[in-house]
Amino acid sequence: MPVIEVTHLKKRYGDLVAVDDVSLSVEAGEIFGVLGPNGAGKTTTVECVAGLRVPDGGGVSVLGLDPRRDAAQLRQRVGVQLQESQLPDRLRVAEALELYASFYRNPADPAELIDKLGLGEKRNTAYKKLSGGQKQRLSIALALVGNPEIAILDELTTGLDPQARRDTWGLIEQVRDSGVTIVLVTHFMEEAERLCDRVAVIDRGRVVALDSPAGLVSTVAPEQRIRFRPSAPVDDRLLTDLPEVSAVQRTGSQVVVTGTGELLHAVTSVLARHQIVAADLRLEQSTLDDAFVELTGHRPAN
């Protein structure tokens, strides 16, 4: 049963079409990634889901409800972290969380959340005096303080240092394990690969791919590459005759074989049959990065 269903969503700002045609559905309990280049329409899409923007066309249903009509109900059940949103300068960390907790019928314990997000020492620090990453963590905490069934996180870890990013990933996994469905907008492919069950790649207001990260890589950028130094001369034809192989190149004493499917198995078997040892063997597989470039023609921004 999908908890979020978006069908043919369309949203314009004046003449600019920000979201042209986006359809996707998010299943209960999954971490769903939304990827895409800057200005692709990711934020606009998730803000339509959060009920912050009114779509010009198409439908959005969240937990079986309409984000605009049933806003009051959904605000209790959906936590949102906005991409750009700050707090009053003088507001302190604990005050912010306690205030926001008080809005919900069934909130999380603010003190516990503060510790979980590593803000324990900053409990009484004013917002203005937090570092960028600490502000970001507070923002995540505010999205989770209502114990939501769905958390929509726009640019979860932008601005965090590598350690804080990893810690946050751990936290998000914990949150998911407690049964929360998570929609995650991100520019970090590593983050999407590590966290997301499925991702939608949006480009120029349209969904250009929707699959698991591994599925995306194998369909969009299935190319693999094997490098090795043969112990004896190898005839190219031996390799090019294999159906899995698409090309063979040589650089110095090194052989580089590109291909798809069970490439590694095919190559090593044929070498073994001819008693050739492959030294320094390395397999290079495409990553989500490559798939992203393939789909959008952009390098992921980070």
Ligand X SMILES: Nc1ncnc2c1ncn2[C@@H]1O[C@H](COP(=O)(O)OP(=O)(O)OP(=O)(O)O)[C@@H](O)[C@H]1O
Binding site for Mg ion (CB under 5 A): 43, 83
Residue 282 corresponds to which tokens in the numbers above? 């390395």
Among 4, 49, 87, 160, binds another protein (CB under 8 A): 87
Among 8, 13, 54, 85, binds ligand X (CB under 6 A): 13
Strands 206-211 and 198-203: antiparallel
Q: How far is CA 245 from CA 257, 272, 286, in A?
A: 7, 17, 16
Residue 139 engages ligand X in binding (rule: CB under 6 A): no
Q: How far is CA 230 from CA 95, 130, 158, 183, 263, in A?
A: 66, 56, 44, 47, 16
Residue 50 engages another protein in binding (rule: CB under 8 A): yes
Smallest distance from ligand X to CB 138, Å: 20
Question: 160 or 263: whose CB is closer to ligand X?
Answer: 160
Query: Considering only 40-48, 70-78, 245-253, 287-295, which stretch makes contact with ligand X by CB under 6 A?
Result: 40-48
Among 15, 84, 112, 177, binds another protein (CB under 8 A): 84
Distance CA 233, CA 150 (A): 59
Residue 65 engages another protein in binding (rule: CB under 8 A): no
Distance CA 199, CA 227 (A): 31
Report which DSSP code applies to 65: B
- On the 0-12 / 13-18 / 19+ scale of CB atoms within 10 A, 261 is middle
User: Considering CB under 8 A, how many residues would be counted as binding another protein?
Assistant: 24
For tokens 């570092």, name the residue. Answer: 131
Question: 104 or 244: whose CB is closer to another protein?
Answer: 104
- Give the containing element (helix H, strand E) for 138: helix 132-144
Residue 39 engages ligand X in binding (rule: CB under 6 A): yes
Smallest distance from ligand X to CB 300, Å: 10
Question: 39 or 64: whose CB is closer to ligand X?
Answer: 39
Residue 9: name the closest of 57, 76, 48 by CA: 57
1 binds, among another protein, ligand X, Mg ion, none (CB under 5 to 8 A by kind): none
Among 1, 15, 16, 179, binds ligand X (CB under 6 A): 16
Residue 66 engages another protein in binding (rule: CB under 8 A): no
Q: What are φ and ψ of residue 109, in 5° steps?
A: -80, 115
For ligand X, the binding residues in 60-99 under the rule CB under 6 A are 83
Contact footprint for another protein (CB under 8 A):
50, 52, 72, 75-76, 78-80, 82, 84-88, 90-91, 95, 99-100, 102-104, 142, 146
